[in-house]
Structure 1
Amino acid sequence: MIRISLDAMGGDFGPAVVIPGAAKALERHPDITFVIFGQEQECAPILAKHPKLKEKSVFHHCEVAVTMDEKPSAALRRGRYVSSMWRAIEAVKTGEADAAVSAGNTGALMAMAKFCLRTMENIERPAIAGIWPTLRGESIVLDVGATIGADAQQLLDFALMGGAMARSLFEIERPTVGLLNVGVEEVKGQEEVREAGRMLREANLSTVSYHGYVEGDDIGRGVVDVVVTEGFTGNIALKTAEGTAKQMAQLLRSAMSRTLLSKLGYLLAKGAFDMLRDKMDPRKVNGGVFLGLNGIVIKSHGGTDAEGYAAAIDVGYDMVRNALNEKIAQDLKTYHARRLPPAGPEEAA
């Protein structure tokens, strides 16, 4: 059994999306059990409509819910130990759950997760990894907003963690990794990116294959399995891609309804358009993974529906089933062991 804790009060719609989303995820993964944290007066009536989910869940009442516009520092002061968000994360720390899922305030969730679970050994900053639909399938992009700025060592850590996630999610033995840059030439880009490229080349990692630099248009093409950047650039890239997808969908709908002939053309090509819509549906790839913490935390989009929330639970399920954190810990241990200088005669003795 895989145990998932849920912050039922997180997101724009709270339990109205979280609980039906959990019910959908349970249909796909009957081996899940849930630990749900939320305000009983709001959650109980909705949970009663899903008897199979209720049977596979343990519910804990929490008075405090973190709001979507609350500052991380304020949320940490007000919600520590008592909010549904904190207790969902804490369930991972205590072993009551294997992973936590929340659609709540991203800043508050990261602050609480980092405070409660702490970062893994040799990791200075955690990262949020997003799943990105591409022409080849899917890629992982990180960091998409956990921290602003990153030095060369942190970018290399992101590469290791993203590679471990690709192995867990896509079951690729040695995923390819690229550094997001303004060009593919070695002389281009910020010093931190160039230094990270040098370190990745010289490290000759056995768990990932370093491809080199990639540009923005390479992400959607799926040139590499893992795209590494710092949080400021990654978040802008993510929001730009989401906005472009919505814009294209709107333009397509408008074009298909302009004339009788275009409407007829839409009907004839409906199957193809349905496949395109499914490919561009952001709900299918919902669920950002907090990497670098001593526990698995999944961030769902705050405005998603039940199908999107179920997808975020699916990501958490896959990360637990494929031992994400164990892979990250082993990769970091191997890398840092290789960096240590050889023991001298006295140390060896």
Structure 2
Amino acid sequence: MRKNLREDKGSFKFSWLLLGLLMLIITCTGWSQENRSFKIFQFPADKIPSVDGEPLDWDMVPESYAVGMDELWEDSGKHSAANPDNLDVKVKVGWVKGMSRLYFLYEAYDDYWDFSLPGLQNDTFEVIVDGDQSGGPFIDRFHPNRELDSMDAFFSFHGVHAQNYHIFTPAQGKEWTMVWGSQPWIKELPYANAAYNYDFKPGESGKLILEFWITPFDYAGNDPARAVESLLKENKNIGLSWAIIDYDDVQKMANNGFWNLSEEHTMYGNASYALPFTLMPLEPEFREELKADWSHKILNMNRRQVAFYDESEGEVTSWNWNFGDENTSEEQNPVHIYKKRGKYVVVLKITGPEGEARHSKVWDVVLK
């Protein structure tokens, strides 16, 4: 009797082990896209691209940053493989250190451009962005509370922690994008801008160049006063994905293909299916061999306690801080207490194999 009981327990454990293994295989298969990651090019501060529809500013961006048709899949089953005679798309993404902007260069050839109607039927570049990789659904019909009123879900949830830009390619007699959510203000200056370059008419073939930038938000509701922009910094990952919706007949409402960067069709409303894009440092040819830089934070105004942070670039072997009050430090990231109130000129000098560099800030440190 005990032997049979042990056998039953063993069989039960083995069944659960098999089930767990099966679930793991399914999960890994469904999330194989996690093996893919992409790069966002950092533009030097003196080479910020102009949004004018001319791609010359992007010539400095290596092709290793380009995402082409080989990374997309047609998830409606209408095409077994990409055909450049039908549709050929390449996308590059950029950023600038210190700015909350994502720059895009979209280059596309299509054998039939559909953009004559005023509504949604329009060749489309649909972009989702999740600036802090919070993940999860972000459109009203995917709200986990099924009892919530649809309009309440729209205003409190739709597009709030991740955003969807339904960009018309090209936009003729209409806004350049439909923001799928309750925050249409994010598609306008000072939060976004776009420019096109093309010479074809509806129904014709040709190449389109679309240049635009958007601002990613960790929180973007109906009221822009409450919005929180995403923090963009080097080596941080953000969530991005896109799809190209290709119409080939103005008389038909059905599209001729939904080309998706994500492996999940519903990425358009679920940020968990976005892919990681890394905000890259400057490419070597744009970096200074040795550059001194620093920032600070007042830890306690009453005690006049200030933390200083070295943000120098290059190989640094020594640091020399002059706090402007006849005190110095050779620490990389010192904390200093000032004895008197005042406005201070703080200087950081660094040395390394490439030489010396200095960076001063006049009256940035002000204590009362």
Whether the TM-score (by the shorter chain) exceeds 0.5 is no
With structure 2 as the length reference, what TM-score do the two structures score?
Answer: 0.24
Task: Name whichever structure is richer in strand by fraction.
Answer: 2
Q: Report which structure shows greater RCO (CA 8 Å, sep ≥6).
A: 1
Task: Name whichever structure is richer in helix by fraction.
Answer: 1
With structure 1 as the length reference, what TM-score do the two structures score?
Answer: 0.25
